[in-house]
Amino acid sequence: MGFIKNLFQSKKRREKAQKYKIGMEKTRQNVFNQLNELLKSGEKIDEDLFEEIEEIFIMADIGVDTVLKLVNHLRQTVEVKNLHDAEDLKEIIVEEMFKRYVQEEIIDTNLNVEDELNVLLFVGVNGVGKTTTIGKVAHLLKNEGKKVMMVAGDTFRAGAINQLKVWSERVGCEFFSKPEGSDPSSVMFDAIHYAKENDIDVLLCDTAGRLQNKQNLMKELEKIHRVIGREIEGAPQETLLVLDATTGQNGLSQAKIFNEVTNLSGVVLTKLDGTAKGGIALAIKETIGIPVKLIGLGEKLADLEYFDIEEYIYGLFSDVI
Amino acid sequence: MAFDQLSDRLQMALRRVRGKARLTENDIDEMMREIRLSLLEADVNFKVVKNFTKEIKEKAKGDKIMKGLNPSQQVVKVVHEELKELLGGETSVFALDKSKRTTIMLCGLQGSGKTTTAGKLAKYLRKQESIKPLLVALDVYRPAAVDQLVTLGKQLDVDVFEKGIDEKPETIAKESLEYADEHGHDVVIFDTAGRLHIDETLMDELRSIKQTLSPDEIFLVLDAMTGQDAVSVAEHFHESLAITGSIITKLDGDTRGGAALSLRKVTDVPIKFMGLGEKLDAFEVFHPERMASRILGMGDVLTLIDKVSENVDEDDMMNMMEKMMSGKFNYNDYLKQLKMIKRMGSLKGIMKLVPGAGKMMKNANVDDKKLVYIETLINGMTNQERKNPDLIKKNSSRRRRIAKGSGRSVAEVNRLIQTLDQQAQAVKKMGSMDPKQLDPNNPLKGMQDMQQPSGKQKKGKGKGKGKGGFRF
Inspect the interface and report whether the beta carbons of B228 and A273 lie closer than 8 Å.
no
Quickly state the pLDDT bin for A16 (edges 50, 70, 90).
low
Inspect the interface and report whether the beta carbons of A129 and B110 lie closer than 8 Å.
yes
Quickly state the pLDDT bin for B430 (edges 50, 70, 90).
low
Inspect the interface and report whether the beta carbons of B148 and A250 lie closer than 8 Å.
no
Task: Please state, in angstroms and rounded to a whole number, the distance separating the CA atoms of residues B206 and B213.
Answer: 10
Write B427-433 long-range contacts (CB < 8 A, 24+): B427/B324, B427/B325, B427/B327, B427/B329, B428/B325, B428/B327, B431/B324, B431/B325
Of the candidates B78, B24, B53, which has an alpha carbon nearest to the alpha carbon of residue B292?
B78
Inspect the interface and report whether the beta carbons of B41 and A64 lie closer than 8 Å.
yes
Query: Chain A residue closest to B147 (CA)?
Result: A159
Inspect the interface and report whether the beta carbons of B471 and A65 lie closer than 8 Å.
yes
Q: Hey, is the C-beta of A128 within 8 angstroms of any chain B C-beta?
A: yes
Give the range among A23-37, A165-179, B212-226, B385-399 with minimum mean pLDDT. Answer: A23-37
Query: Chain B residue closest to A248 (CA)?
Result: B227
The rounded percent of chain B whose pLDDT value lies above 90 is: 30
The minimal CB distance from A127 to the residues B112, B229, B230 is found for B112
Helix (H) and strand (E) counts for chain B? 23, 8
User: Average pLDDT, stretch B73-100?
Assistant: 79
Quickly state the pLDDT bin for B88 (edges 50, 70, 90).
confident
pLDDT recorded at residue A275? 80
Task: Give A 265-304 residues with CB within 8 A of chain B.
Answer: 271, 273-277, 280, 287, 299
| Domains of chain B with bracketed CATH | 4-86 (1.20.120.140), 102-298 (3.40.50.300), 304-454 (1.10.260.30)
Which whole-number Å values give the CA distances from B346 to B144, B156, B366, B367, in the listed order?
A: 30, 20, 9, 9
Q: Is pLDDT at B220 greater than 80 in this prediction?
A: yes
Task: Please state, in angstroms and rounded to a whole number, the distance separating the CA atoms of residues B115 and A160.
Answer: 12
pLDDT recorded at residue B463? 35
Inspect the interface and report whether the beta carbons of B250 and A211 lie closer than 8 Å.
yes
Inspect the interface and report whether the beta carbons of B43 and A159 lie closer than 8 Å.
no
The minimal CB distance from B226 to the residues A213, A248, A252 is found for A248
Task: Give A 74-113 residues with CB within 8 A of chain B.
Answer: none
Instruction: Report pLDDT digits (tens) over B32-42.
Output: 787 788 788 88
Q: Is pLDDT at A127 greater than 50 in this prediction?
A: yes
Q: Hey, is the C-beta of A250 within 8 angstroms of any chain B C-beta?
A: yes
Give the range among A60-69, A83-92, A197-206, A257-266 with minimum mean pLDDT. Answer: A83-92
Contact list, B371 vs chain A (CB under 8 Å): none
User: Average pLDDT, stretch A256-279?
Assistant: 91
Inspect the interface and report whether the beta carbons of B41 and A26 lie closer than 8 Å.
no
Contact B222, B112 (CB under 8 A): yes
At the fourth CATH level, the homologous superfamily of domain A118-308 is P-loop containing nucleotide triphosphate hydrolases (3.40.50.300)
Instruction: Report pLDDT digits (tens) over B12-33.
Output: 666 666 666 666 777 777 777 8
Task: Give A 5-34 residues with CB within 8 A of chain B.
Answer: 26, 30
Mean pLDDT of chain B: 77
Quickly state the pLDDT bin for A22 (edges 50, 70, 90).
low
Residues of chain A with CATH 1.20.120.140: 2-102
Class of domain A2-102: mainly alpha
Contact A127, B223 (CB under 8 A): yes
State the amino acid at position B188 in one-letter form: V
Selected residue of B4, B32, B110, B221 to mutate for chain A interface (largest A Cβ count, 10 A)? B110
Instruction: Report pLDDT digits (tens) over B318-372.
Output: 676 666 666 677 888 888 777 777 766 666 666 665 544 544 445 455 566 777 8
The rounded percent of chain B whose pLDDT value lies above 70 is: 68
Task: Please state, in angstroms and rounded to a whole number, the distance separating the CA atoms of residues A69 and A283.
Answer: 11
The minimal CB distance from A162 to the residues B147, B198, B254 is found for B147
Quickly state the pLDDT bin for B380 (edges 50, 70, 90).
confident
Residues of chain A with CATH 3.40.50.300: 118-308
